[in-house]
Amino acid sequence: MRGLGEGLGEGLVGWESFKFLHPWPARLVEYFSCLAVVVLACCFLFRELNLFHTDAESARYLLSALVQSQASVVAIVVSLTLIAVQLTASAYSPRVVDIFKRNPDLWLLLFFYGLSMFYGLGVLKLVEAAGGAGGAGGAGGAGGAGGAGGEAVSGSLEFWVSLAFWLGAFSFVALFPYLWNIFELLKAEEIVKRLAVGITREKILKAEDNEEEDPILPVLDVVRSAIMKYDFATTRVGLKEVTERVAEILGSESAGKGEEEISKRFCRHLERVGRLAASREDEESVWEVIENLEKFGETTVKRELKKATENVVWFLGAVVGAAAEKGLESGLIKAVYSFEKIGKKAVEKDFSIAVINTTIYLGLIGITAVEKGLKRAAQRAGFSLAEIGRIAAAKGHIEEVKEATFLAAKYLGKLGSTAAEKGLEDIILDAMFNLDFVGSTSERNGLERATKEVVRSFGEIGRKSVEKGFKNSAESAAFYLTILTLSSEEVVKTAIQDYESMLKEEEDRDAFRKFMKIYKQKLKERREKKRRNAG
């Protein structure tokens, strides 16, 4: 039984997919199957119940009432359908009207109702003609009583009268699959899927000359309308469909063949959606935009589409900027995770520009989060910076990728010093922990420039901590700097001298000297401890 159920389920899924991809053949199969079932059932019932006998007057009344009722029903159905189309277009986008125009259900229903009504009128005409002839003959003979209107329909005409009734029954039954399909079509998910089918590589590239021909626009019109109404379910479905469709297009083409234009157009659209969501402070929609850009970025990296990955990072940064302006912390945290995932994969592929931009955006997110007092976002940004810096130092095969380690050290230093200015000591400590992580990785992999930047960052954080009176932070900075000194003393010494020479204000110099005093004391203690352990 389980195998039968699974097979049936797979069959239903396959039929639904066929209906979606080939609506006209699928609908023809549905309606003609329904027609065959109704006709056979009626034929069986008429024969079993001996209903193949109708006098002319009853036939006229039956056919007349049947045609009138069908005309009323089809008028009501068409009117309600048009109202539904209008409401749907108002709710989502005027472009939705094209979906209903291409939908075969309404046209097939009109065809079958028209066929049934005009066939009924034709048979009614034949009955009247036959009845008139019979009535004239009956007036002159013994069958005069039959001319009063009780004459029977001839056997050859009886079948056509019965068939008219059967077609009427079918036209009523056909309303059920019609309404079912229309209800399904009114769903936001179905509308988005049908609009997304029109997204093709050729249409996207062609839209470069005419923005209105862009096939992505209809889907995102629905998404923007959903955001304005805080309809998150529709927003999620729309973004998911368009992202999967564009990713599929890029995957089916060779790298570089329209890659940059397609990815740029797609990412620009999502950036606009993200900005709209941020302006309305809709964190869920911002989250969804960032997640879809992340998935698209992972796809482009996996397929080694360098330019497309760079576009993703660039436009993701724009969305994050809009979220940061509104202080949407959950959006910033999601963006940090997304940048980290894309950045790690970009390092493995040696996508230098994407890696560097990822590191810069992570640094800016962290600094912005500190300035706005968003601690969780700042802490997560610092950790992700350290991760990218570590991986770039260890796995980067070209110098441009390893530049991300230097940038990670630079922005972690700025993150810590900004936290000191804002009085957030816990953020200072986290930044230094991550900075130490980058420093040890840089030192092990022989990245002297990055190591010097780590030293300068510790010096900056230590100086700021002394200025603001954060004793624990200043001692922690001195401790981490001491550890680095024991493994790379000359590099640390040179970096400290370079940093001190950059300080112009006497106040800054005094604070740095106080920090250096703490550092030298820590270094002395550390060396003495090391000698004792060695002895």
- Tracing tokens 């029109």 back to the chain, one arrives at 198
Confidence tier at 532 by pLDDT (50, 70, 90): confident
**pLDDT the model gives residue 132:** 60
Tell me the pLDDT tens digit for each residue of 490-524: 999 999 999 999 998 888 999 999 999 999 999 98
pLDDT-derived band at 331, boundaries 50, 70, 90? very high
Residue 494 has a CB neighbour count (10 Å cut-off) of: 14
pLDDT value of position 5: 47
**Residue 124 confidence (pLDDT) above 70:** yes
Is residue 88 within 8 Å of 96, Cβ to Cβ?
A: yes
Mean pLDDT of the chain: 87
Q: What is the pLDDT of residue 7?
A: 47
Burial label for 8, CB within 10 Å (0-12, 13-18, 19+), is exposed
pLDDT, tens digit, for every residue of 26-80? 999 999 999 999 999 999 998 888 877 778 888 889 899 999 999 999 999 999 9
CB within 8 Å of 503: residues ≥ 6 apart:
509, 512
Comparing 402 with 149, the larger pLDDT belongs to 402
Burial of 159 (0-12, 13-18, 19+ CB in 10 A): middle
Provide CB contacts within 8 A for 379, sequence distance 6+: 427, 430
Instruction: Over range 159-170, report the average pLDDT.
Output: 91
Give mean pLDDT, residues 395-422. 92
pLDDT digits (tens, 9 = 90+) for 142-158: 333 333 345 555 656 88
pLDDT tens digits for range 337-353: 999 999 999 999 999 99
Burial of 437 (0-12, 13-18, 19+ CB in 10 A): buried
- To the nearest whole percent, how much of the chain has pLDDT over 70? 91
Confidence of residue 211 (pLDDT cuts 50, 70, 90): confident
**What DSSP character marks residue 153?**
P
Partners of residue 312 on adjacent β-strands:
none
Q: What is the band of 253 on the pLDDT scale with cuts at 50, 70, 90?
A: low
Nearest to 355 by CA among 308, 304, 389, 324: 389
Neighbours of 108 (CB within 10 A): 20
Query: CA 219, CA 69: separation in Å to the nearest integer?
Result: 40
- The per-residue pLDDT for 155 is 58
Residue whose C-alpha is closest to residue 115's, from 65, 178, 54, 70: 70
Res 144: pLDDT: 38
pLDDT score for 148: 39
Residue 113 banded pLDDT, cuts 50, 70, 90: very high
Q: Give pTM, 2 decimals.
A: 0.82
Euclidean distance between the first and the last CA atom of the chain, given in angstroms as a whole number: 78
Residue 17 clears pLDDT 60, i.e. is over it? yes
